[in-house]
Amino acid sequence: MNVTVRGRTRHFRTVSFDAAKNRVLLIEQRLLPHEFKVVGTRDFRATAVAIRDMVVRGAGAIGATAAYGLAQGARAFRGRDLGKFQAHVEAVFQTLAQARPTAVDPVNAMLDLRRAMSVGTTVAEQQTLALRAAERFADEDVAHCKAIGRHGAKLIRNGMRVLTHCNAGWLAFVDIGTATAPMYAAQATGRRFHVFCDETRPRSQGATLTAWELAQQGVPHQIIADNAAGFLMWRDEIDLVIVGSDRTLGRTGEVANKIGTYTKAVLAKRHGIPFYVAIPLSTIDWQMRSGRDIPIEERSESEVLGAWGIVQGPKSKVQSLKSGERAFVRVANPTSRARNPGFDVTPPELITGIITPEGIFKPGELWRHRAKLGGPA
Amino acid sequence: MNVTVRGRTRHFRTVSFDAAKNRVLLIEQRLLPHEFKVVGTRDFRATAVAIRDMVVRGAGAIGATAAYGLAQGARAFRGRDLGKFQAHVEAVFQTLAQARPTAVDPVNAMLDLRRAMSVGTTVAEQQTLALRAAERFADEDVAHCKAIGRHGAKLIRNGMRVLTHCNAGWLAFVDIGTATAPMYAAQATGRRFHVFCDETRPRSQGATLTAWELAQQGVPHQIIADNAAGFLMWRDEIDLVIVGSDRTLGRTGEVANKIGTYTKAVLAKRHGIPFYVAIPLSTIDWQMRSGRDIPIEERSESEVLGAWGIVQGPKSKVQSLKSGERAFVRVANPTSRARNPGFDVTPPELITGIITPEGIFKPGELWRHRAKLGGPA
C-alpha cells in the first residue's frame, strides 16, 4: 500500500527481494508506528531470526518471507553437487520452519517452492527456479488479498461500525491484507464506515500496526482496550467483526488466530453480530483433524509484564528522560510473573463465514469445497 | 494488610485519617507497585481530586475517602452558624460526589455521615459526630470484608485456579478487600491455589495492584493479558472467577464493574465456570431499575494509547534513558485516537452468586433478601 513518509507518498510491499545483493527486504514492523524503515537480511539465518523476533509477522508476510528466505539460502550455496545442495536446502527449510511453530504459511510456502525447484536438474537451475517461485508466491499473495477484498467488501455497508483484532492488514501480508482487504475495497467504492481496533495486548499490534495502516489510508477508526469490545457490543455499537487467521483447519473450520480472537467470537455470537474470518488459501491446514492439536506458542513473559512505546516528555514529569525515544517500561509488579499464550482457537459454530479469494464459505463447508480451495482430492 | 518495605513489615490501611492535621491519609496507588508511599490531602478539594485522579480507587476505599473527606470539610468550617455550616457541608458533599460519577459508595457513605451528624445541635457537635461516623464507616468496611472472606473461602478448594479481574483487593477497600478476601481467608486456613490476574487494561490495575497485593501476601499467581482468559478456560485451566463490583443493582442483580468484567462473565458461562462477585452492602444500589441507566464514565483516551511503567535500562537500548524511572510511553499510532469506557454491566444470568458480608446470594435474590442486606422496607 502507499506510505507517506515526510510528505512523500510511495508504494511499498511488506516483503520483497533484492536479487543483486541476495537479501530479503522487510518493513521493520517493530519500529512501527513510530518509525518507518526497510531492512535487508544478510542470509537465511538472519531471515529466520527476523521471522522469530517479529521484524515481520502475519500469516502471508511470514509465508513470503520464508519463501524468499529459502530462495536466499538456496542461492547462497556454492558448488554443483546436487545431493549436497538438497541437504543444504533441507537445513534452510528446517531453520525457517522452526522460527514460528504455530503458523502454517511458512511451511506451505516452502513446500511449494521445493516442488517448483525440483523440476531443475542442476544446482544453478534450481536456484533460479527458487527465486522465480518465491516472486510468484509473493505476487499470488497480493492477488489473493485483492480477491478477498472484492468478496468481503459487500459485507460493509454505509455507516457500519466494524471491529477488528490484532493486525491482519497489509503489513501481515505482502500487500492489501486479509481482514483489512474488505475495508480498503469498500473505501475505494466510497462507502463510509468506522473501524474499532482492539489494541491486542500483549504486543499491541492493533494499536500500533492496524491503527497506523488505517490512518495511512484515511479510514476513520478508534483504538479500544481489548476489554471494551464486549461493552460496545452490549451498547449496539458494533455491527460486524472481521479478523484474520494464522491457521484454519480445512476439515473442521476451526480458526487459530491471535490470542483474544476466541473471546471476541464468543461475544459476537451472544450479541448476534456477524463474525467473519478473512484468509488466503495458504492458511488452510487440510491435514489436522482437531483444533486441540494446534501447537500454541507460549511467548515471553516480558510481553505481558510491560510495554514498548515512545517516551512522552510533557507527561512523564521525569526530567532525565528524553521525550520521543523508544523504551520498554515495566508496568507490572516487579516480583510477579506472567503467562503468555500467543494464540487461541475459535470453533466453527462462532464463525459466520470465512472470506477467501474464492468467495465466502461457512466454516463447516471448507472441506466440501476443498477442490476449489486448493485442498486434497 | 501487612506491607514489607525495605525488609520491615507493618500493617497499613488503604485510607485513614490524621485528626490533628485534619488530613486524609491515602496509599498513593498510582506509584504502586514500584513505590510505596502514604500521602495526606490538605483539604476536601484535594481529597476530591485524589478520588478523581485515582490516587485512591476501588469501591470501599473511595467510600471511606469520601466519608473522611466530608468530615475533613466539615471540620474545616470556622463559625457557629448552623445554616451556613450545612450549606458548606452540602457543597463539600457535591464536590466529593462528582469526583467519580459511576461509583455509588461515596454517595452512600456521605449520606450515612450526614444522618449521623444531624443528631448534633451545634456546629462543633456535628463536626465531632462527622469524624466519629467516618471512623465507624472505615471500621465497618474492614469488618464487612472479613465477613466476605469467611463466606467466600469455602468456594476455594485445594489446587484450584482462580481468575480475578482488575483490583478488588485490600487496596480497593480500607483493608482485606472483597474479591481477594476469600483468597486471603482460604490461604489463612492453609489451602493452596493459584490466581490468574487479568492485567486489566487500560489502567493495568490487575498487573500492578492485585499482583502486588498477592505477592506481598505470598499467594502464588500469574499475570495474563486480558485476551488470554478465554483460551485458559478453553484449556480447562480456570476453575473459578471472583471479581468485585462498583455498583450492584439490588432490584435486578446487574453488576457494574471495571471494563472487561462482562466479557469474562460471558466466557465463564460458556465454559460452565462459576462466576462470583464479592461486594460489601454499601455497593448495592436499591433505587435503579435497569443496568442500562448506570452512567458509564468515558475516560481519557491517553490511558488506551499508552502505558505507565518503569523504564527498563538493559532492554531499552536507549542510552539517555535512565533505568528505574517512571515514565509514560505512547504505544499506539501517534495519529490515531481512542475510545475508553471505564466500566461495563454484567447481567444476573451470567453470575453464579454474590458474596456479601451476610452470605452468598443468587443475583436475582438480592431484592427478596433486602431486609438482611440493608435495603429499603
Higher per-residue confidence, B316 vs B185: B185
Q: How confident is the model at residue B313 (pLDDT cuts 50, 70, 90)?
A: low
Specify the residue for cell string 462473565.
B265
Identify whether the C-beta of residue B102 lies closer than 8 Å to the C-beta of residue B249. no
Q: Using CA atoms, how far apart are residues B54 and B58, in angstroms rounded to an integer? A: 9
Burial label, B39 (beta-carbon count in 10 A; 0-12, 13-18, 19+): middle
Identify whether the C-beta of residue B236 lies closer than 8 Å to the C-beta of residue B171. no
Angle between helices A261-270 and B261-271 (to 10 degrees): 80
C-alpha cell of residue A271: 450479541
Residues of B in contact with A197 (CB under 8 A): 336
Phi, psi values for residue A47, rounded to 5°: -65, -40
C-alpha cell of residue A371: 477442490
By C-alpha distance, which of B346, B361, B348, B351 is closest to B151?
B361
CA A350 to chain B, closest CA, distance in angstroms equals 12
**Mutating which of B210, B305, B333 best tests the A interface, going by the most A Cβ atoms within 10 A?**
B333
The mean predicted confidence, pLDDT, of chain B is 94
- The predicted-structure confidence for A305-364, as pLDDT tens digits, reads as follows 999 998 886 444 444 445 567 889 999 999 999 999 999 999 999 999 999 999 999 999
Pick among 1.20.120.80, 3.40.50.300, 1.10.10.60, 1.20.120.420: CATH of B2-146: 1.20.120.420
Residues of B in contact with A328 (CB under 8 A): 311-312, 315-316
Mean pLDDT for the stretch of residues B206-217: 97
Judged by CB atoms closer than 8 Å, whether chains meet at A327 and B307 is answered as no
Q: What is the pTM of this model?
A: 0.91
User: Mind giving me the DSSP string for B86-113?
Assistant: HHHHHHHHHHHHTTSTT-SHHHHHHHHH
**What pLDDT is attached to residue B320?**
47
- In A, minimum Cα distance to B304 occurs at A225
**What pLDDT is attached to residue B286?**
95
Edge-to-edge strands, sheet with A255-258: A284-285, A247-249, A255-258, A343-346
**What pLDDT is attached to residue A315?**
44
Judged by CB atoms within 8 Å, which residues 31-60 of A form the interface with B? Answer: 33-34
Question: Which residue pairs from B11-14 have beta carbons closer than 8 angstroms and sit at least 24 positions apart in sequence?
Answer: B12/B38, B13/B138, B13/B142, B13/B174, B13/B175, B14/B56, B14/B58, B14/B61, B14/B64, B14/B170, B14/B171, B14/B172, B14/B173, B14/B174, B14/B175
CA max distance for chain A: 67
Q: Exactly one of A246, A285, A293, A344 is catalytic; which is it?
A: A246
Judged by CB atoms closer than 8 Å, whether chains meet at B329 and A308 is answered as yes
**Mutating which of A227, A308, A315 best tests the B interface, going by the most B Cβ atoms within 10 A?**
A227
Measured distance between the N- and C-terminal CA atoms of chain B, rounded to whole angstroms: 36
Q: Is the pLDDT confidence value at A34 over 60?
A: yes
B374: left (phi over 0), alpha (psi -120 to 50) or beta: left
Residues of A in contact with B267 (CB under 8 A): 263, 266
Active site residue B236: no
Measured distance between the N- and C-terminal CA atoms of chain A, rounded to whole angstroms: 36
CA max distance for chain B: 67
Q: How confident is the model at residue B315 (pLDDT cuts 50, 70, 90)?
A: very low
Q: Using CA atoms, how far apart are residues B68 and B24, in angstroms rounded to an integer? A: 6
Identify whether the C-beta of residue A131 lies closer than 8 Å to the C-beta of residue A71. yes
Q: Exactly one of B246, B285, B293, B344 is catalytic; which is it?
A: B246
ipTM: 0.91
Q: Is the pLDDT confidence value at B243 over 90?
A: yes
Specify the residue for cell string 513518509.
A5
By C-alpha distance, which of B255, B278, B188, B209 is closest to B14?
B209
- The predicted-structure confidence for B40-73, as pLDDT tens digits, reads as follows 999 999 999 999 999 999 888 999 999 999 999 9
Pairing of strands B240-243, B161-164: parallel
CA B320 to chain A, closest CA, distance in angstroms equals 7
**What pLDDT is attached to residue A323?**
59
Q: Is B319 on the interface with A (CB under 8 A)?
A: no
CATH superfamily of B155-296+341-365: Translation initiation factor eif-2b; domain 2 (3.40.50.10470)
How many inter-chain contacts (A to B, CB under 8 Å) are there? 273
CA B300 to chain A, closest CA, distance in angstroms equals 12
- In B, minimum Cα distance to A300 occurs at B224
- The predicted-structure confidence for A125-156, as pLDDT tens digits, reads as follows 999 999 999 999 999 999 999 999 999 999 99
Q: Using CA atoms, how far apart are residues B361 and B351, in angstroms rounded to an integer? A: 10
Q: How confident is the model at residue B241 (pLDDT cuts 50, 70, 90)?
A: very high
User: Mind giving me the DSSP string for B230-281?
Assistant: HHHHHTT---EEEE--SEEETTT--EEEETTHHHHHHHHHHHT--EEEE--G
Q: Is the pLDDT confidence value at B319 over 50?
A: no
Judged by CB atoms closer than 8 Å, whether chains meet at B327 and A344 is answered as no
Three-state secondary structure call for residue A132: helix
Identify whether the C-beta of residue B13 lies closer than 8 Å to the C-beta of residue B174. yes
CATH 1.20.120.420 in chain B: give the residue spans.
2-146
Three-state secondary structure call for residue A162: strand
Specify the residue for cell string 525440483.
A118
- In B, minimum Cα distance to A219 occurs at B336
Q: Is B236 on the interface with A (CB under 8 A)?
A: no
Q: Is A5 on the interface with B (CB under 8 A)?
A: no
Q: Using CA atoms, how far apart are residues A89 and A133, in angstroms rounded to an integer? A: 15
**Mutating which of B329, B340, B349 best tests the A interface, going by the most A Cβ atoms within 10 A?**
B329
User: Who among A304, A328, A344 is closest to B230 (CB)?
Assistant: A344
* Beta strand extents in chain B (DSSP E only): 2-5, 8-11, 15-18, 23-27, 38-41, 161-164, 194-198, 221-224, 240-243, 247-249, 255-258, 275-278, 284-285, 306-311, 326-330, 337-338, 343-346, 353-356, 359-361
Q: Is A227 on the interface with B (CB under 8 A)?
A: yes
CA A140 to chain B, closest CA, distance in angstroms equals 30
- The predicted-structure confidence for B100-140, as pLDDT tens digits, reads as follows 987 788 998 999 999 999 999 999 999 999 999 999 999 99
User: Who among A199, A230, A327 is closest to B329 (CB)?
Assistant: A327
Mean pLDDT for the stretch of residues A87-114: 93
**What pLDDT is attached to residue A313?**
60
Cα A81 to Cα A88, A89, A131, A344, distances in angstroms: 11, 12, 19, 44
CA B63 to chain A, closest CA, distance in angstroms equals 25
Judged by CB atoms closer than 8 Å, whether chains meet at A306 and B320 is answered as no
By C-alpha distance, which of A53, A90, A56 is closest to A70?
A90
Side-chain-facing half-sphere of A320: CA atoms under 13 Å? 10
C-alpha cell of residue A30: 517493530
Q: Is the pLDDT confidence value at A6 over 90?
A: no
Pairing of strands A221-224, B337-338: parallel
Q: Is B345 on the interface with A (CB under 8 A)?
A: yes
For residue B295, whether the previous peptide bond is cis, meaning omega lies within 30 degrees of 0, is no
CATH 3.40.50.10470 in chain B: give the residue spans.
155-296+341-365
